[in-house]
DNA sequence: GAGTGGTCTAGACCACTGT
DNA sequence: CAGTGGTCTAGACCACTCC
């Protein structure tokens, strides 16, 4: 026989998915005590049932207020088209570049809506980074931390840690100055000022549970929501890795899109 | 002040991440009672701390045995290269095609290791599918359910739901016969028998918590592990959507790789 | 202040695993 | 069989939100 908390969870889930009166998205659920009474189980057991549905992302609890049926979140689309688009803009005049950046392109937000944090630091390459770049461990790297989030309260977008080889970018001192961010035209343009042309970009996508810090920063309220980790590796025309960035995105508000064109058959 | 269960969780987490003697990957933790004593908290509170770490994927509990520090799972790489590779094989002779399929290419498993389930069904297009294909709701579709998993115990790989327009594939009755799976050469080859050449494929990747059924089928033991959902849309050379498949993959054992080649600048 | 969810306790019994 | 984690109870107090 199924556990009591499971039966309660199953029943509640069914009500929510069916959208029954009082259980539609956004609706406020009865209190834990009331629910426990309704299912003839103790409050802790009812809490366990609710926890299951929170893990599934169906319910959000707000302390002091109540529990609510979660409404569907709009996903932000992140397309690989952004890379070619960014490259094309490198050779546009500055006033064109200034208008928007790639993040704004994906999110649909306008520039002024985005709060932009940047912290720059010179750090030695650890084992992972050394491997990513194919350089010796300890090689000086420029590490840049970005946090982009909407100024209108609760819509943080991504946490970015970007690595560049220090000696490469140091040729242009402006690139070492965090206060110059956001740089009009993005990373590809920054690299172009030190003679680097990006030739290809590899994205590797994984998912994992968020750390506590990431939950806070990305505003991941519900338990059980994962984050995407995108490792983006840029290779220049000489085959050298020029940038590696790790981008953490909220799993419930992001989707990735990739287009693969196939070669046509030649019919004889 | 932080909650007791949080302090216990923080301490345990730190021990595990530091790999301290007795807390390295695979190690068996002290029992809940022992841990509760050690931290001077009640057993339910200690269980709460353990639950936190299970959510983070650091600990796996086995009833009747004990709790263990989770060892890192090897991720299976799923690269978009598979699509061109699959297309190239369509025009190879049958004995070459028979050797391996695209799933085996990605996973590294040999064919005989893969258990292959297939269920075929004719269903009317629901709203989502009608939109995916750009056809009228109710259009007859062929729905195919696949479940690929290793015969050696606990390594299921993916759950696939694939849709095709029924009238298109019905031209070749073999395509309607589930007992013919696995079809040597894959879906692109199947489509080629009814005169369809796939021209481009769009992948859309999202992540969400698994359903109970998916947890069971994919062998997702630890709480808090998400699944990837890949929606793959194949478009033929006439611009028509010919296949849509939804692939569910375990989030802790999968990674996606996409390469984006950029156009070279023309220097004057 | 009333009502909500968050934390915590001290028990109890059961289901499962290994020996 | 002994020991483990899984479920469950009946309370208690606290932190938070809203009126």
Nearest-CB residue to A205 (from B197, B202, B256): B256
Q: Residue B67 CB closer than 7 angstroms to strand D?
A: yes
Per-residue confidence band for A257, with pLDDT thresholds at 50, 70 and 90: very high
> Which position has the higher pLDDT, B56 or B231?
B231
- A71-102: pLDDT as tens digits: 887 888 999 999 999 899 888 777 766 666 55
> What are the two backbone dihedrals, phi and then psi, of residue B86, each rounded to the nearest 5 degrees?
-65, -40
* Chain A CB contacts of B265 below 8 Å: 91, 197
- A41-51: pLDDT as tens digits: 999 999 999 99
- B47-101: pLDDT as tens digits: 999 999 998 888 998 888 999 998 887 888 999 999 999 899 888 777 766 666 5
- B13-48: pLDDT as tens digits: 999 999 888 898 988 998 998 899 889 899 999 999
CA distance B78 to chain A (A): 10
b/e per residue, B78-102, with b = 16+ CB within 10 A?
A: bbbebbeebbebbeeeeeebeeebb
Task: Give the mean pLDDT of chain A.
Answer: 85
Residues in a beta bridge with B117:
B147
* Chain B CB contacts of A199 below 8 Å: 261-262, 264
Torsion sign across C-alpha atoms B87, B88, B92, B97:
negative
CA gap A165, A189 in Å, rounded: 16
What pLDDT was estimated at residue A147?
A: 80
- B93-122: pLDDT as tens digits: 777 666 665 555 555 444 444 556 778 999
Q: Residue A217 CB closer than 7 angstroms to strand D?
A: no
Structure-block tokens of residue A82 = 């952004």
Q: Residue B42 CB closer than 7 angstroms to strand D?
A: no
- A204-228: pLDDT as tens digits: 999 998 887 788 777 776 677 899 9
b/e per residue, B105-136, with b = 16+ CB within 10 A?
A: bbbebeeeebeeebebeeeebeeebbebbebe
Inter-chain residue contact A204 with B264, CB threshold 8 Å: no
- A187-200: pLDDT as tens digits: 899 999 999 999 99
What pLDDT was estimated at residue B183?
A: 75
CA distance B233 to chain A (A): 9
Span CA (B69) to C1' (D4), Å: 16
Per-residue confidence band for B152, with pLDDT thresholds at 50, 70 and 90: very low
Per-residue confidence band for A135, with pLDDT thresholds at 50, 70 and 90: very high
Contact yes or no for A160/A186 (Cβ under 8 A): no
What pLDDT was estimated at residue B216?
A: 76
Tracing tokens 């592990």 back to the chain, one arrives at B225
Least confident range from A90-104, A251-265, B201-215: namely A90-104
CA gap A64, A68 in Å, rounded: 12
> Which position has the higher pLDDT, B237 or A153?
B237
> Which position has the higher pLDDT, A237 or A57?
A237
């Amino acid at each position: 026989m199924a556990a009591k908390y499971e039966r309660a969870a199953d029943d509640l889930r069914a009500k929510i998915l069916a959208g029954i009166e009082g259980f539609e998205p956004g609706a406020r659920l009865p209190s834990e005590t009331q629910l426990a009474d309704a299912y003839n189980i103790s409050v802790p057991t009812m809490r366990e049932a609710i926890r299951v549905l929170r893990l599934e992302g169906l319910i959000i609890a707000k302390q002091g207020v109540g529990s609510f049926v979660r409404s569907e979140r709009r996903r932000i689309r992140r397309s690989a088209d952004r890379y070619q688009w960014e490259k094309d803009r490198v050779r546009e005049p500055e006033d064109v570049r200034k208008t928007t950046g790639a993040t704004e392109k994906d999110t649909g937000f306008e520039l002024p809506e985005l709060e932009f944090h940047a912290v720059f630091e010179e750090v030695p390459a650890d084992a992972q980074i050394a491997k990513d770049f194919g350089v010796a461990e300890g090689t000086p790297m420029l590490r840049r931390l970005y946090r982009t989030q909407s100024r209108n309260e609760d819509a943080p977008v991504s946490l970015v840690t970007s690595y560049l080889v220090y000696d490469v970018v140091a040729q242009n001192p402006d690139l070492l100055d965090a206060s110059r961010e956001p740089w009009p035209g993005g990373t590809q343009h920054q690299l172009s000022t030190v003679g680097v042309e990006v030739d290809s970009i590899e994205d590797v996508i994984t998912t994992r549970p968020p750390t506590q810090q990431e939950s806070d920063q990305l505003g991941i309220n519900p338990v059980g929501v994962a984050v995407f980790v995108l490792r983006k590796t840029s290779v220049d025309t000489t085959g050298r890795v020029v940038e590696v960035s790790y981008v953490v995105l909220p799993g419930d508000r992001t989707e990735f899109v990739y287009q693969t064109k196939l070669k046509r058959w030649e019919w004889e």
